[in-house]
Amino acid sequence: MTRIAVIGGTGYAGRNIVAEAVSRGHTVVSVARSVPAERVEGATYLEGNILDVPSLVSELEGVEVIVSTVPARGDMVGKVRPSTAELVAALPGDVRVGVIGGAGGSLIAEGGSRLVDQDSFTEEYKPEALEAIGILEDLQVGDASRDWFYVHPAGAFGVWNPGERTGSYRIGGDVLVTDAEGSSYISGADLAVAVLDEIESPKHSRARFTVGY
């Protein structure tokens, strides 16, 4: 089994990933700015902050895979990208890094433009989306020996639309995953299934991929 740390492990994406990882028998550490009252049984909870990389790295010694789910939202706008780059550079070379980004960096068609660049993309979400894209760009040009993966969830992904665990999903490479009606959706639990499948059976080394139904 793998020792996995989830940064932002009490948030929507994070807690689903923690729960899925524990259910598969992995050793799981959830890191967040505060320890929640309701916890996933079997996970270890630590107080930590991606803005304090030295302390974070010392807390996570021995971890094999780190998944960051921290969005550049609210007081974190402008801070998540540089802190993620600092964290990646500070980790031991054999630690695999996963990042849960947003749908905004997905392409609307093969070779096409990004979702964030469409007129329909909500203006207030653009700073978060662009910072998430910046994290991907940093990974792409970073140390070639660092293994990483980056996930773009479907468009209608969020705590406001939780859904259920089906155990099924589709991967669309760089392109936003949509169904036959053009809707783009993935539940929190099934996003976690996709993330754990990638951790257990890596298919996207130093690459991004989209997930949806």
pLDDT in tens, 151-189: 999 999 999 999 999 999 999 999 999 999 999 999 999
What per-residue confidence (pLDDT) applies to 165? 97
**Average pLDDT rounded to a whole number, residues 38-46:** 96
Report the percent of the chain where pLDDT is more than 70. Answer: 100
pLDDT-derived band at 54 (thresholds 50, 70, 90) equals: very high
* CA-to-CA separations, 78 to 105, 127, 135, 151, 211, in angstroms, rounded: 17, 8, 11, 20, 26
What per-residue confidence (pLDDT) applies to 121? 95
Write out pLDDT tens, residues 70-112: 999 999 999 999 999 999 999 999 999 999 999 999 999 999 9
Show the domains of the chain with their CATH numbers: 3-212 (3.40.50.720)
**Average pLDDT rounded to a whole number, residues 121-133:** 96
| Cβ-Cβ contacts under 8 Å for 134 (sequence gap 6 or more) | 81
What per-residue confidence (pLDDT) applies to 208? 98
- pTM as predicted: 0.96
For every residue of 118-183, which 3-state class applies, written as one string?
CCCCCHHHHHHHHHHHHHHHHHHHCCCCCCEEEEECCCECCCCCCCCCCCCCEECCCECCCCCCCC
pLDDT-derived band at 68 (thresholds 50, 70, 90) equals: very high
**Average pLDDT rounded to a whole number, residues 58-76:** 96
Q: Determine the Cα–Cα distance for residues 135 and 114; give it in Å rounded to an integer.
A: 15
Q: How high is the mean pLDDT of the chain? A: 96
Classify residue 62 by its DSSP letter: T
Contact 141, 85 (CB under 8 A): no
Contact 109, 76 (CB under 8 A): no
What per-residue confidence (pLDDT) applies to 159? 93
H and E: helices and strands count for the chain: 5, 8
